[in-house]
Structure 1
Amino acid sequence: MTHILDTLGLRTAVEADALTAGAKTFVPVHAGTHDLPVGTLLDALAEDPSLLPPRTGHLGNWEDIAAGRAGPMDFNTAICGGGHGYPLIYGFTRTEADTEGGDEAYQPGSLIDQGKRHVLPLHTWDGTRFVRRDRSAPLFCPLVQAEVDGRLVPLVDLHRQRMEALPGYRFRHWATALTDRAELVTDMLTLLLEQAAAQGRNQAFAELISQAVRADGEVARCRVRPEGSGYLLEDQHYPSARALAEAVMATVHALVDPAAFFARLPGLPPLLPVMSLQLTNVLFALLDMHHPDAPPGPPERPFITHLHWGARAMAGCPPRRHGYLTRRSTVRSLRAVTDPLVEHFEAARPVAFVLLPAQTFMLCPPSTSPRDVELMAGLFARLRAAGPAAAHETTLRWLDGQAELLSPYLRGRFAGGSGVPADGAVREPAVPVEPDGFRALTFRQACGAVAAFEEVLG
């Protein structure tokens, strides 16, 4: 699939020669730092129906997202509802709580529909039974049950059933992609753990297992270290690298078949390891999640080109605000994970990770705000005239005179820390509209514009 790089003009940026030669095994490229027209990408995706980049959304409330009335989360509507990507649900998140650390964007500990939030009673295991929990601490979603109509339902199942009832959305689940190839993933993790032990550095383990979760659903950073022929996760002993790898997969299986996991819970260790985000990002590419309908097969050669829609944390809005994936420290960790996998597994090849900024679509107003569509088209005309490098400053000047003319809904998209609205306001269903000139913008221009909106309206 390397021809897509020629279409997008990114072959040099991904260091294709180094990937082909195996000199590098992971090279991320952020479209937001390049003058790639948005329309060029969208046309390329439309021409290859087998290629569909994942948009990694979270387990939680998608009803108002699918209805186009989710405020700052409408970029999901534009991408997933518009056919430019598909919702790949990542479930290793935590319920919203009175303290920091929970998922305030998708609010998985509640049900939100038409702007109204119903807080769910949440229960976790106390060692003998499931007990009601308060909201003092975020809880790891795979280990939580919600009380619905007087009975306990796995929180994962509750949201999965609601998502699957939404028409037009092809939800896929990250955990299913891993469990479908559980033997391969377990083998990979076993090798990585053995190599981490041989390296003798704590960071090598943190690149694979970032946290540990207790049976009561509370998560914290953890220390993994070798102990004889086995491993210690804090003070929990695992007799081998494979035993520890299988324990990592236990929490992944909890997202796929939570009822079976809860039935096993009394016999599981009281502390379970949680797969790191670094390893997760590598597996996005190695397990071909950009071809969601393709059966498992040999990897792309000479290297894998993985396109991925990332949002605020992953992609950010360069150059004003960078996401985590392209940080030097993250790239070092990603290569440390990918290097041995490429060396030892036929199923692994070097990776060109093309990061697509989902926030680009925050510039597309809802169909219920035609005045916003007209105003944004005027901004885009100015941006095209000014050139890519001037996008941020041009947008700041435009906002100085035009911001108050935009609808409160569009302005509210850029408020800091906001997620699916739960203010009780009734909003009509809508679809995001691409104003004239939107597809002619480059991703660099779009990121500069979004950054300006956040600076002024956040």
Structure 2
Amino acid sequence: MSVHLLDRLGLRGALDTDALTAGTKTFVPVHVGTRDVPIGTVLDVLDQEPGLLPPRTGHLGNWQDIVAGRSGPMDFNTAVCGGGYGYPMVYGFTRTEADTPGGDEAYQPGSVIDRGRRQVLPLFTWDGTAFVRRDRSEPLFCPLVQTEVDGQLVPLAELQWRRMLAVPGYRFVQWAAVITDNGPLVTDMLTLLIEQARTRERNQALVELIGHAVRLDGRVDRSDLRADGDGFVLDGFRYPSARALAEATMLTVRALVRPREFFDRMPDLPPVLPVMSLQLTNVLFGLLDTHHPDTGVGTPEHPFITHLHWGARAMAGCPPRRSGYLTRRSMVRSLRAITDPLVRHFDVVNPTAFVLLPAQVFMLCPPSTAGADAERLAGLFRAVSGAAPEDAHATTLTWLDEHRDDLSAYLRSRFRSWAGVPADGDVREPSVPVEPEGFRSLTFRQACAAVAAFEEVLG
């Protein structure tokens, strides 16, 4: 299955399949945005391959205008998930938007946004004896936050999840539910990794597993985890063993799935909880078979797992100008350091080929409400297709110099630096993304370079 799929995608030569098959490399990523693979080839494979549906890891928060195709820069989610090329896997380890940096300004989970209008929610966290209202002076860890509805405290994650489930036509999946559904396996994996990290000389070994520490009042800091005899100390609190630390790490995951149970236990919880790292999360995406959402973990793919994943601005970026975090050398070293012992110790774990699909190429698909944009962009695509692959960025810059003002204001606004779901009060008509003529013939490398040029000029 793995080699067959890579052959269909035209990516077999981009990965060290011999090393993956032999297990000498346990994690090998390939960024499709750096490859001359036509967009249409990938979309056709996703249409035709039984059971294959890559996750698009969006965040907890406001999806209503995303689904309606009026979310500006977030419309790439609409194209992927609404178009049937992926499904929204909702990642909840984010923080509320705040007056200081660090919160999720894209999905704004601490607010309700619908039809461009934003209602700021009251936020409550634990002060040691009760839930008290907090200001927005700093971001707060979403799983530990409550809000108020009709005079009653409601978990923030539950409120946003209910809103998402009310959206017709979308199959939202909680990342946290995938983890808890495989809770015993994940806990065993994490226990092993923590025990082995204790003996490794690299100071980063533990931090690569437990990335942050969160206080019960929702404040998050980078992990300062260190070994202490048979136990571990996190932000001054001692966990007596690797398993105790692993089990505590699962608490914040379960807080997203069963939040009321979590909040009922607040008085008995440790004062500081470990938060699973981004590195471990990315490894688990592949190992837990999230690219086959209807089957889950079963018989592992042989000789290695081929995991397809739609990444956006942080994970995938737009190569070559901005390539995202997943394929950085330091990140790949961390991912292999996690995957190596798991492959050796668990029968259900095989090496992983991580195929990163950049979702931002769909920013080049204008909304159906701005019909003239499709014709204009078709002209750009003809110019890009007629140039050498390495000239796509320069060709787009030249085209934008002449045509940028011909594009709709809505399309231009998509490329503002790191903008999120619009909350300016404007009521926009619902729309669906339109693929201009020539879009599917572009390679991912060409499309990423074009998006990078749009961001450079319009951001």
TM-score tier by shorter-chain length is: over 0.9
SS at match of 1:12: helix
SS at match of 2:184: helix
The Cα offsets for residues 371-427 of structure 1, whole Å up to 9 and x where unpaired, read as 101101111111111132111000000000000010110000000120000000010
In 1, the alpha carbon distance for the partners of 2:109 and 2:79 equals: 22
Contact 2:121 2:147 in 1 (8 A): yes
Q: Which moved more, 1:271-280 or 1:224-233?
A: 224-233
In 2, the alpha carbon distance for the partners of 1:424 and 1:387 equals: 43
The letter for the 1-side match of 2:87 is: Y
The corresponding residue for 1:348 is 349
Contact 1:202 1:224 in 2 (8 A): no
How far did 1:440 drift? 0.4
The letter for the 2-side match of 1:86 is: Y
The corresponding residue for 1:185 is 186
1:401 aligns with 2:398: no
The corresponding residue for 1:377 is 378
Contact 2:289 2:296 in 1 (8 A): no
1:34 aligns with 2:35: yes
In 2, the alpha carbon distance for the partners of 1:187 and 1:376 equals: 51
SS at match of 2:14: coil
How far did 1:202 drift? 2.0
The corresponding residue for 1:112 is 113
Structure 1 segments, 4+ long, off by >2 Å, are none
**Fraction of identical pairs, as percent:** 71
The letter for the 1-side match of 2:449 is: G
In 2, the alpha carbon distance for the partners of 1:295 and 1:156 equals: 23
In 2, the alpha carbon distance for the partners of 1:383 and 1:322 equals: 20
The letter for the 2-side match of 1:345 is: F
The corresponding residue for 1:210 is 211
How far did 1:147 drift? 1.1
How far did 1:227 drift? 1.1
Equivalences for 1:236-275 in 2 at 5 Å? 236-275=237-276
Query: What is the RMSD computed on CA atoms of the aligned residues?
Result: 0.7
The corresponding residue for 2:285 is 284
SS at match of 2:124: strand
The letter for the 1-side match of 2:447 is: A
In 1, the alpha carbon distance for the partners of 2:287 and 2:63 equals: 27
Equivalences for 1:146-225 in 2 at 5 Å? 146-225=147-226
TM-score, normalising length from structure 1? Answer: 0.99
The Cα offsets for residues 261-282 of structure 1, whole Å up to 9 and x where unpaired, read as 0011110100000000000000
Structure 1, gaps ≥5 residues long: none
The Cα offsets for residues 125-172 of structure 1, whole Å up to 9 and x where unpaired, read as 000000000000000000000112221110011011000011110000
In 2, the alpha carbon distance for the partners of 1:112 and 1:295 equals: 32
Equivalences for 1:46-57 in 2 at 5 Å? 46-57=47-58
The letter for the 2-side match of 1:375 is: R
Q: Which moved more, 1:336-345 or 1:1-10?
A: 1-10
Equivalences for 1:91-110 in 2 at 5 Å? 91-110=92-111
In 2, the alpha carbon distance for the partners of 1:367 and 1:457 equals: 21
The corresponding residue for 1:360 is 361
The corresponding residue for 2:437 is 436
The letter for the 1-side match of 2:257 is: V
The letter for the 2-side match of 1:388 is: P
Contact 1:56 1:89 in 2 (8 A): yes
SS at match of 2:375: helix
Contact 2:290 2:296 in 1 (8 A): no
Contact 2:64 2:164 in 1 (8 A): yes
In 2, the alpha carbon distance for the partners of 1:421 and 1:36 equals: 32
Contact 1:79 1:85 in 2 (8 A): yes
TM-score, normalising length from structure 2? Answer: 0.99
SS at match of 1:316: coil
1:319 aligns with 2:294: no
Contact 2:288 2:296 in 1 (8 A): no
In 2, the alpha carbon distance for the partners of 1:12 and 1:322 equals: 20
The letter for the 2-side match of 1:217 is: G
How far did 1:284 drift? 0.1
In 2, the alpha carbon distance for the partners of 1:167 and 1:373 equals: 27
